[in-house]
Amino acid sequence: MICQECNQRPAALHFTKIVNGEKTEVNLCEKCAQEKGEMFMFTGGSGFSFNNLLAGLLNIEPSVQKQSQNTFHQEEILQCSGCSMTFPQFIKVGRFGCAHCYETFKEQLPPVLSRLHSGNWSHSGKIPKRIGGGIHLKKQVENLKNELKELIQQEEFEKAAQIRDEIRTLEKQLSSSNKGGE
Amino acid sequence: MSLERFINQAVSSWMSEEGPDSDIVLSSRIRLARNFENIKFPTLFSHEEAQAIIAKIEEIHHESSFSKFGQMELLKIDEIQPLQKRVLVEKHLISPNLAEESPYGAVLLTENEEISIMVNEEDHIRIQCLFPGLQLTEALAAANEVDDWLENHIHYGFDEKYGYLTSCPTNVGTGLRASVMMHLPGLMLTQQINRIIPAINQLGLVVRGIYGEGSEALGNIFQISNQITLGKSEEDICRDLKGVVSQLISQERSAREALRKTSNIQLEDRVFRSLGVLSNCRIIETKEAAKCLSDVRLGIDMGYIDHLPKNILNELMILTQPGFLQQYAGGHLRANERDIRRAALIRERLKMEQDKR
Ligand SMILES: [Zn+2]
Ligand SMILES: [Zn+2]
């Protein structure tokens, strides 16, 4: 096999990379690989092996594998209506096809995400303004309720009472904003 | 072109200006990943969908331009020269992935190059803010402002439970990657770094060399970033990273003081030998250049050298990369030619400072 860069020397390095969801075989001679390598060296690697790594990581998860086999054998294969991606495909590529994949694979995702994010599988950061104040308030109430629980456990009743009042105020706001919005 | 003019044109503000704790923290970066709700991710989207995204960004840019951080310019990847692409990568303004594997990519850049918005990389939109020194909070605030601006015009993919939806499940939630570039020669020389890196990893942070392959960190420059994007707020992610970085700063400072106490003359010798190499070499490889630049920068920080500016490490680590050398030379250079050019550029740069005196 001849190197695809210079089309002169025999290819010594062979690997697969995934671009736009498609596998591409890459065959380079040592010299061209070095030239390319220098580019990666400076930029901390362009994630050549990352796809494989992630797929590996997702694959080890036994419950994921079981679920993906289940869906494969028993019911129809789960397929995203937005991009036609199936769950086995996602596991293989390690990338979603579109935003709707998250909805399509919602049953399968918690173990995958919690593995990647140290046990977390629920967002608690920024929220787009267009989603409206509703979620913001709900999240705030959720956080305060957790705090309240902790305070009660620690027997910090004075602070707990303050938090309880805050929750009440927010819940009032929430019910009025829901009425207003609908 | 004179070297001075070349440098003035080539250097972004994060390389030339000083920020808080910039004796150890070279730069802080915030990246936010965002996607359009109803368009397939770049791994699968069609040519037409890619064009539609660029057209939308162009429209937003022209019709409601955002000038708080200076005038922005839109560059389309397929319209810029390979060498210019490489230079943008070397300046950390675009990713190698955008330069090499995103035929429909584009980038919106501010003049001072502190803010870049990559379009059609792994995600439709990646907002990046790069500030000098330790300024995670400031960079996050700037990134959020850019995000709010775009959000007024774009329906982002967002889920109540999963947050901002991204192509890769490792970015979902906040879509935030916060990272800090640190110069840690003291921890390297005292051989503490091998003990520290696993401890940092345990905290859910990733440490890696920015320059160099594998575990090697050329120029003793390390990047520390968060791994978890889901389940923690943006502020918490930055606060936790900042906490670890602050500890590293104080450990690096005490390592430097210990070195001064136990091996002052050896350290001074090392610093001036490296300065000697840089001032006199005729051929120099990346690795040796990086080592010497790191020594010289340490010498500046510790007061052994007083006639050179601190940013020389940052600046020359960037300017002696292959893309920049070739841009300065005005054409393609083979590896051995680059080593000669690199030596010449470094010598000339050091002479510029000599002449200033
Ligand atoms: Zn070749
Ligand atoms: Zn999909």
Please report the ipTM that was assigned to this predicted complex. Answer: 0.85
Strand partners of residue B107: B75, B118
CB-based contact A39 B208, cutoff 8 Å: no
Instruction: Measure the CA–CA gap between A160 and B80, rounded to whole angstroms.
Output: 60
Q: Select the residue from B158, B238, B338 to test the A interface by mutation, using most A Cβ atoms within 10 A.
A: B158
CB burial string B326-351: b at 16+ within 10 A, e below: bbbeeeebeeeebbebbbbbbbebbe
Residues 42-101 of A with CB under 8 A from B: 42-47, 54, 82-83, 85, 93-99
Instruction: Measure the CA–CA gap between A87 and A102, rounded to whole angstroms.
Output: 11
CB-based contact B86 A39, cutoff 8 Å: yes
Query: Residue B350: is its pLDDT beyond 50?
Result: yes
A21 pLDDT tier (thresholds 50, 70, 90): low
pLDDT value of residue A55: 52
**Count of CB atoms situated within 10 Å of the CB of B144:** 17
Instruction: Measure the CA–CA gap between B273 and B279, rounded to whole angstroms.
Output: 10
pLDDT value of residue B212: 66
How close A156 gets to chain B, by Cα (Å)?
24
> What is each CA distance from A81 to A76, A97, B51, B163, B179, in whole angstroms?
14, 10, 22, 20, 36
Chain A partners within 8 Å of B124 (Cβ): none
A130: DSSP letter: G
A103 in reach of chain B (CB within 8 A) = yes
pLDDT value of residue B223: 93
Tell me phi and psi for residue B182, to 5 degrees: -125, 145
> pLDDT by residue (tens digit) across A112-161?
888 889 888 789 899 988 776 677 677 778 888 888 888 888 888 888 88
> pLDDT by residue (tens digit) across B290-326?
999 999 999 999 999 999 998 888 889 889 988 889 9
B213 in reach of chain A (CB within 8 A) = yes
Instruction: Measure the CA–CA gap between A12 and A37, rounded to whole angstroms.
Output: 14
Q: pTM for the full model?
A: 0.79
How close A153 gets to chain B, by Cα (Å)?
23
> What is each CA distance from B173 to A113, A126, B23, B34, in whole angstroms?
10, 9, 33, 10
Which residue, B135, B129, B137, B132, is CA-closest to B18? B132
Q: Is B133 strand, coil or helix?
A: coil
